[in-house]
Amino acid sequence: MRAPVSRLSLDRRLAEAPEVKELICQHLADLQEALDDLMHIVNGEVPNRDMTGEEDGQAPSDEASMLLEIITESVKSLFRIGVLVRKTGTDDRFRRAIRSSNAVFPANFDINHAMEKYSKLRLRSAGLLATRVGSAISKRRQFIKYCRDHRLRLGYDEAAVIGDDEAAVIPEPEKVERARTELLSSKASTFHPERIPQGALMSEAFEEEKEEEDDDDAISLMTASTVSDPTQRLELPKLSDLSADGEQFECPICFTLQSFSQERAWRKHAFRDLKAYVCTVGGKECDSELFGDRNAWFEHELRQHRAQYACNLCSNQQLCSSEQELTSHA
């Protein structure tokens, strides 16, 4: 556990949610108590009492087995709360990665790859779109590296706070160098309890994404590769491969703990992480506009680029291309 004054501490993240902090402390207390009782049994200090007959046939047969179940459930509950705290964060991690990361991937390679992959992007009229698609791929590379370095940075901080009486494991120099990406930007985002659905902390409803998406969102994510067949598609790993038993797992994209019960929910999370959609119409003002879902992307293009607004005050009904332009005209 990090010191409460640390920018990466749980205390900083839960500063505005004391009830959530109290719930976490309760689970930790239950975990500690169960571990202590189990250690007394393992060390032979107390007998392992027979528990049969106290409950139905599905109950543990002895006290040690019951304590193991309590430990397992306490750890699961802590993981679930961790997932919930991350999902209610307001900071756009993708934008923060692009803004803070020292790693910059040249876009030329990805732009050329996009043009080779989609022949229509080679047309002179599609130059802006090809640049935007390729640049978006480069930004996704930067985001993934940011997340990987962030995880390494957290591990480095844990080693740095070990007491003098314990042996600290010092990361290799090259790993520390990669971790500097997060050296100045690592900060725990504030948890906002008002964003939690009522009763979510006491249920598992938050484990699965509830938003509905059409099946055609199940596109394959493709990227450039210098070692594989250029016609080969690089697809997302299946949820069953990441979490065969339905337990929490570390997302291979954002390197945070996640939990999903359906393949579609996992895909939606991955697309949101990678900002899978880009603006295809706007000018330079939209170079940094990436969207995590299709609805947000379509809403942007419809409202900002693909609609015209007529002024009812003008005799010739002046047409404007955006709400802002119409407001200025009026």
Interatomic CA distance for residues 99 and 142, integer angstroms: 10
C-alpha–C-alpha distance, residues 84 and 209, integer Å: 11
Model confidence at 172: pLDDT above 90: no
Q: Which residue has the tokens 């314990």?
A: 166
Give percent of the chain above pLDDT 90: 24
Q: Compute the distance between CA of residue 150 and CA of residue 139 in angstroms, rounded to an integer.
A: 16
Interval 114-164: pLDDT, tens: 999 999 999 988 988 999 999 999 999 999 998 888 888 776 655 555 444
Alpha carbon distances (Å) from 117 to 61, 218, 222, 234: 61, 19, 10, 13
Query: For residue 326, what are its two tokens?
Result: 């119409």
Among 302, 303, 307, 305, residue whose Cα is nearest residue 282: 305
- String of DSSP letters for 57-115: TTS-SBHHHHHHHHHHHHHHHHHHHHHHHHHT--S-HHHHHHHH-S----SHHHHHHHH
CA-wise closest residue to 270 among 313, 310, 213:
213
pLDDT of residue 58: 64
222: left (phi over 0), alpha (psi -120 to 50) or beta: beta
Residues 6+ apart with CB under 8 A from 312: none
pLDDT of residue 29: 92
pLDDT for position 220: 39
pLDDT higher than 60, residue 230: no
Residue 247: the pLDDT is 82
Task: Please list the alpha-helical segments (H only) found in 227-322.
Answer: 239-242, 263-274, 294-304
* Sequence-separated (6 or more) residues with CB below 8 Å from residue 283: 128
> Cα(205)–Cα(259) distance, rounded to whole angstroms?
11
pLDDT at 209: 43
Residue 171 in this model has a pLDDT that exceeds 90: no
- Above 70 in pLDDT, residue 55? no
130, amino acid identity: A
Asked whether the whole model's pTM tops 0.75, one would answer: no
111 Cβ contact list (under 8 Å, min separation 6): 130, 131, 133, 134, 135
| Predicted pLDDT of residue 225 | 37
User: What is the average pLDDT value for the chain, to the nearest integer?
Assistant: 74
pLDDT category of residue 5 using cuts at 50, 70 and 90? low
Report the pLDDT value the prediction gives residue 133, as an integer from 0 to 100.
93
Whether the pLDDT of residue 95 is over 90: the answer is: no
pLDDT at site 267 = 92
How many CA atoms lie within 13 Å of 173's alpha carbon, on the beta-carbon side?
Answer: 0
Using CA atoms, how far apart are residues 323 and 309, in angstroms rounded to an integer? 7
Answer whether residue 224 shows pLDDT above 80. Answer: no
Task: Give the mean model confidence (pLDDT) for residues 201-215.
Answer: 43
Residues 277-329 have pLDDT tens digits of: 999 888 888 888 899 999 999 999 988 888 777 887 787 777 777 777 778 87
Whether residue 190 has pLDDT greater than 60: no
Between 113 and 160, the higher pLDDT residue:
113
- The yes-or-no verdict on residue 167 having pLDDT over 50 is no
How many residues appear in the chain?
330
Residue 211 pLDDT: 42
Query: Which amino acid, 34?
Result: A
User: Please, is 117 exposed, middle or buried when counting C-beta atoms within 10 Å of its C-beta (0-12, 13-18, 19+)?
Assistant: middle
How many CB atoms within 10 Å of residue 95? 14
250 membership: H or E segment, kind and range: strand 249-250
Whether 32 shows a pLDDT value over 90: the answer reads: yes
Helix then strand then coil, in percent of the chain rounded to 5, is: 50, 5, 45
Q: Residue 223: what pLDDT?
A: 37
Q: How confident is the model at residue 14 (pLDDT cuts 50, 70, 90)?
A: confident
The predicted pLDDT at position 206 comes to 43
